[in-house]
Structure 1
Amino acid sequence: MSLGKKHVLGFSPNGGQLFASVDEHGILRIWDTETNTLKQEFTPNLQVSGPCTALTWVAVAGPRSKKSRKSLQAQDAVNEQLHIALGTLKGAVVIYSLAEGKIARSLSGDNHDGPVTSIVYDNASHLYTVGADCRALVWSLTEERCVAEWQVGPEKPQNIAYLHKSRTLAVGSRQLKVYDVKTKELVETFTGHSGEINGISSIACSDGSEFVLTIAKMERVICFWKIDKKGKNKASACTLLMEDLAYCLTSEVREDGQLRVASVTRNGIIHIYLLNVNCLSADKFVKPKVSLQIASDEAETVEPLLAVAAHFVTDSNRSHEVLFGYGSRQQLQFERFTPNYGEKLNVIVRADPKKLYAKKKGKEQLGFQAATKVQKPIVSQKNVEYNSALPISQKKVQNEVPMEARLQHLKIHGTKLSGGKLLTQSKTQLLMQALHSKDKAMIQAVLSTQDTETIQLTLDRLPLEYVSPLVNELSILLQGKHANVSSALRWLHVLASTHTSVLMSEDKEALREKLAVCLGVAEQRMHCLSEALQITGRVNLIISQMKRNADNHLNDSNALILEEDPDEPAESMEDALLTENNWSDLEDQQDGSIKSNSNDELVADDDLATDDVEANSDSDVSMEE
């Protein structure tokens, strides 16, 4: 049976002695229909394989010991043990052993890129699965790996059925498509359902003809499709009516050609149809021969009990009985009942399973003591990986995106220009991954971006639940080095302008606590801004004066140009250089002496004039002589 609104269930092939079901949490439970006891309960490792999404019963040969040939032949029937093949949410296929009460083996090879939607066994050591990736895979139980695959899309397949005589695989989505298993070719298509097929069953008649029965979502009909590997868009061979939508479908054909079909509807009623395979007609709709309804035995009020599954007993001694289970997924009761076909409605009054379990005390009386294995994975809190960055107490975000698709979204793709630079694009996925994993190196790499356009594109696509963690990371960067502060200010400015409504929608106290660190850092840096501006102005003034003096010295037009004379002595040249170098100093000294001692300068001038007169008179006397 395949997945139809979390109804993953199936009866064992040995006359329905065991019943397996998977609830909405992916927990496998196996019941004994003879004793109405829960035999086993298995919770898969959610991190390794994920919840179960599909199941089917298989007969796998167990390990053989080294004994004589006679003992080996005698134990062949014993070694054939019942197993359950499980398809998981992560696309893998595992084999569950009833004898060991655990996963006996995991099939290797190519897995589905998404959950397995349906699985079927061909009774010849091969499994067939379809998944959300629109592929059909063939698994070999002897080789324990995937051996073949082909595409069955573009519509997502929901259910499959294997037809032994024609060696074909019927895949149901909105249409029913039939593929040849050997050639992997589409040989036949059927149209008629308006919704997705959520239940499928197949029958093989003694004359060699094969039929596939289907039920669909939001439809109250059961369609018959005759498989002959010819034609496309063929109509149904017969249509059966129901009172409500069906969740479970089973069928059986006898050697005399009589066909029995049973469906379990949403309101918990079992409809049973009696047909003749050789007299199927599409001209009119067929109504159920009898309907079974289970009711509680309360004295005051009569409440209906919902049927969960139904199965036809193939035992010759019980050929007319119907095996059905009623109650809830956790508390089931099974019963074999022979319908009265003389009445349209058979009401079966039974005790409510909930009250039956409530009256008993202890797990031993509840029937849980009979469970041989109850396994639950022990996972450390440190090893748990959450799909959402929100705290555990808040609402979890369901994310069923495959891991391969997530990793592809994390890669930063960009086309290169002629200079080798990447075009500006969003880093939203990388930022979400960094905030989710709290990787400091990755956060630093993303928030070190200086390009305003990249920051704007990243924050435009950022989900709202990541705004608060981003503010916390920016407040930490504002307390670091100057390079981190400059980049953090850019991100904070764009974040405040982009997600203003998100920040303002929060409580005032919460918003004040988030921005307290940012405001404190800003006030501290603004406090010393005036002193820093004063020091900067003084330094700039000194540097400008130094530059101006250097320019004036280079542009001086009165600079002395000296030419060396080879005939002149070296000492006279040095004296001349000293005289010229000290010329400006002497002039300054003379100007100062003139201003301070004007009287002394006048006396010195008179003395010089008297000496000149006496020198001239002496020269005249010498010339007369």
Structure 2
Amino acid sequence: MASDGGSSSLQLPCVFSPKPQQYLALCAQDGRLRIWNTDNKTLQQEYVPSAHLSATCTCIAWGPCRTVKDGPQRKKRKSEAVQVEERADLLAMGTAAGTVLIYSSVKGALHCTLDGGHTGGVNCVQWHPEDSLLYSGSDDTNITEWDLQSGKTRSVWKADRAAITSLCVSPDGKLLLSAGYVIKMWDLETKEIYRKFTGHSTAVTTLCFATTRPPDGNGLYFLSGAAHDRLLSVWQVRDDGKDKNSVVSFTLTDEPQHVDLVPSNSKEKAVRLAVVCKDGQLHLFEHFLNGPCKKPLSPTCSVQLSDTKDSPAPIPLLAAALGAEPRTVTLAYGNHLQPVMERVELNISERHICLTRDVHTSLSLSMETNISKVKTPLVNAKSKVLVPGFPGHKAPKGSSQTSEKRKKDNDTKEMSIAERLGEIDLAPVSLETGAPKNAPSLQTDNFAVLLVQGLESNDANILNKIFQTRKESVIRKTVARIQLSAVLPLVHEITTRLQGHPHSAKMMVMWLKSVLMHHTSYLASLPDLVSRLGVLYHMIENRVKLFHKLSKLHGKLHLLTTQMVTGTNSSPVTEVDCTAKLVYEEESSEDEVSGDEALPDEESDVSWEEEDETMEEEDEDSDRRESKTNGEEMEHGNESEEE
């Protein structure tokens, strides 16, 4: 069994166990490893890695079949000792945290954890066909060789400048193929490069050895497939070193996602190849590898599945495994959480085959046979089951008063759903102002239930009433309480309404914001998130591009309108009126004023003159006094001298 070793952002690991394909191991979006039994189509085991959200499983690979002891057994006789049963047991899982988990399907538990070999996420793991060795390639551009008996690394070497996306060990266990953008062939004993092959422009995701013959006779072939490439290239390892170009190429409808190959032992035996593409189709090839072939080879048979509805839709294939007979193929299709496994005999003479399957009935059958802890009781047909929510269930005795009130208030006839929806008023005015007590009000739970019903039935009336709410708290609680299955229909409804009138788009932005706040983790777990939200992203991006231009235009128009308004409101400038509004004239003192009234002015003049004269007289008196004092002092001074 060979499978793609590379990991893609939208590709989930899915691998059949080695022959005879008894188990199917896959990792779903929830991070759990599930192992399904292909014989009875039931879930065999389920494993949840610790901290699986931070260490997502990126690649898985089954180990070679080995003899496993299930438990204490009796001693076998000599006749029974020859019969040794080999089973597929160990499963290697590479994680995004750089660790490798080894899971045992027989024990149903983790066998060991290989840690410390990589500093980046593990992209591919590959088992050695004979020894208990494991090889892993990582984003840190290194290849690590693990010893499973000790659980430690044997050797680590740098293999490429880019991340290692695919690995493959030769059937004899002497050579190792590794690929990033360049395919390199290593000698496992010396860890030296044996050959280099270039021809892919993108990361190589698939490597498989097509022959088991030794490389010394120009008979060693291997094939490779890359991301975003619709060709599978076949390379020949030659002794003369002239193997720079691929010798054969197989055409596909999309990039390869899962590859199963039955190698060739001689030139007379053809190589059988089954390729599941990303678009969900299966292509079967059969070719004799005996040298170069210039023309690309088309598939001998292409298989596609569809459902049985009136408008049939394709069912994607997850993996395929070739059986012992040329016509038998084991298919796994449907959903990663609940796949459907089936062995089919195909008529290879037809170029295109379309198989119709009813996925729902096959899912229900497989779920019935699955082991479940919930047991449904066996009830007689005459007995009645009183369960809350079922007809015939009665309320407890404590609520007798409320039940009597309801009986009095309600009529004997029950109202239909349309009449109930008609009575519910979801207008924004009633939500803001508040309705009277007797008026019917809608709680947040009813909002969520009605929203899911409107999305499932695509009823425009219900959706219009719900989307009229403007309270952010109500919108947030409603979006938080809807089921995860209703998130994508709600996003599609919001996208269609955002493309409508700007007023409705303004309301839808609040709903979109609440959806992204509460359900981003669920949306991020979807494998086809880019295609589902592409219309919404491009619409938002186009509107944001126009926002800068519209803001500039709005500013210019605002300037023009303000100038026009100020121009119309301002009155025209006229000549200044020089005439006085009020004139004040003083009364004459000669004609009208009496003589007594004029006295103060005269007295004031006289008083000023008198003051001047008195001031002059005082100055003269002061000068005289000073002279007298000076004279007396002089006389006193003379008398003293005479004495």
TM (norm. structure 1) is 0.54
Alignment of 1:307-346 (within 5 A): 307-314=317-324, 318-346=325-353
Equivalent position SS for 2:284: strand
Alignment of 1:219-238 (within 5 A): 219-228=229-238, 231=241, 234-238=244-248
Structure 2: runs of 5 or more not aligned: 375-515, 525-643
Q: Cα offset for 1:206?
A: 4.9
Matched, 1:291 2:294: no
Q: Residue 257 of structure 2 corresponds to which residue in structure 1?
A: 247
Q: Cα offset for 1:331?
A: 1.8
Matched, 1:264 2:282: no
Q: Residue 421 of structure 2 corresponds to which residue in structure 1?
A: none
The answer to whether the 8 Å contact 2:327/2:347 transfers is no
Matched, 1:105 2:115: no
Counterparts of 2:74 and 2:146 in 1: how far apart (Å)? 30
Counterparts of 1:136 and 1:53 in 2: how far apart (Å)? 16
Give a deviation string over 1:21-70, Cα, whole Å, max 9, x none: 11244321111112222211211001798222221112466579799898
Counterparts of 1:246 and 1:259 in 2: how far apart (Å)? 17
Give a deviation string over 1:438-473, Cα, whole Å, max 9, x none: xxxxxxxxxxxxxxxxxxxxxxxxxxxxxxxxxxxx
Equivalent position SS for 1:333: strand
Q: Residue 91 of structure 2 corresponds to which residue in structure 1?
A: 84
Q: Residue 58 of structure 2 corresponds to which residue in structure 1?
A: 53
Counterparts of 1:320 and 1:81 in 2: how far apart (Å)? 24
Q: Residue 123 of structure 1 corresponds to which residue in structure 2?
A: 129
Q: Cα offset for 1:231?
A: 3.9
Matched, 1:365 2:357: no
Give a deviation string over 1:529-552, Cα, whole Å, max 9, x none: xxxxxxxxxxxxxxxxxxxxxxxx
The answer to whether the 8 Å contact 1:189/1:231 transfers is no
Q: Residue 214 of structure 1 corresponds to which residue in structure 2?
A: 224
Counterparts of 1:253 and 1:79 in 2: how far apart (Å)? 21
Counterparts of 2:83 and 2:320 in 1: how far apart (Å)? 31
Counterparts of 1:185 and 1:97 in 2: how far apart (Å)? 33
Equivalent position SS for 2:89: strand
Equivalent position SS for 1:365: helix
Q: Cα offset for 1:211?
A: 2.1
Counterparts of 1:186 and 1:159 in 2: how far apart (Å)? 16
Equivalent position SS for 2:150: coil
The answer to whether the 8 Å contact 2:18/2:62 transfers is yes
Counterparts of 1:292 and 1:75 in 2: how far apart (Å)? 42
Counterparts of 1:276 and 1:233 in 2: how far apart (Å)? 18
Give a deviation string over 1:54-102, Cα, whole Å, max 9, x none: 211124665797998989x949945866111122222122211112222
- Name the % identity: 22
Alignment of 1:106-255 (within 5 A): 106-107=113-114, 110-124=116-130, 125-165=132-172, 167-206=174-213, 209-228=219-238, 231=241, 234-255=244-265
* Cα 1:118/1:206, change in 2 over 3 Å: same
Give a deviation string over 1:389-435, Cα, whole Å, max 9, x none: xx996967999xxxxxxxxxxxxxxxxxxxxxxxxxxxxxxxxxxxx
Counterparts of 1:370 and 1:211 in 2: how far apart (Å)? 51
Equivalent position SS for 2:350: coil
The answer to whether the 8 Å contact 2:237/2:243 transfers is no
Counterparts of 1:230 and 1:25 in 2: how far apart (Å)? 50
Residue type of the partner of 2:103? Y
The answer to whether the 8 Å contact 1:25/1:51 transfers is no
* Cα 1:348/1:69, change in 2 over 3 Å: closer
Residue type of the partner of 1:261? L
Counterparts of 1:182 and 1:230 in 2: how far apart (Å)? 22
Q: Residue 636 of structure 2 corresponds to which residue in structure 1?
A: none
Please, which of 21, 28, 31 is the counterpart of residue 23 of structure 1?
A: 28
Equivalent position SS for 1:198: strand
Counterparts of 2:45 and 2:19 in 1: how far apart (Å)? 18
Q: Residue 533 of structure 2 corresponds to which residue in structure 1?
A: none
The answer to whether the 8 Å contact 1:238/1:281 transfers is yes
The answer to whether the 8 Å contact 2:211/2:264 transfers is no
Counterparts of 2:367 and 2:177 in 1: how far apart (Å)? 44
* Cα 1:228/1:160, change in 2 over 3 Å: farther
* Cα 1:207/1:159, change in 2 over 3 Å: closer
Alignment of 1:382-461 (within 5 A): none
The answer to whether the 8 Å contact 1:236/1:282 transfers is no
Q: Cα offset for 1:171?
A: 0.8
The answer to whether the 8 Å contact 2:147/2:153 transfers is yes
Q: Residue 311 of structure 2 corresponds to which residue in structure 1?
A: 301
Give a deviation string over 1:343-389, Cα, whole Å, max 9, x none: 2101112112x4543x56xx961635499xxxxxxxxxxxxxxxxxx
Counterparts of 2:303 and 2:121 in 1: how far apart (Å)? 35
The answer to whether the 8 Å contact 1:161/1:200 transfers is yes
Counterparts of 1:231 and 1:55 in 2: how far apart (Å)? 34
* Cα 1:364/1:194, change in 2 over 3 Å: closer
Q: Residue 379 of structure 2 corresponds to which residue in structure 1?
A: none
Alignment of 1:35-50 (within 5 A): 35-46=40-51, 50=55
Q: Residue 293 of structure 2 corresponds to which residue in structure 1?
A: 282
Q: Cα offset for 1:337?
A: 2.0
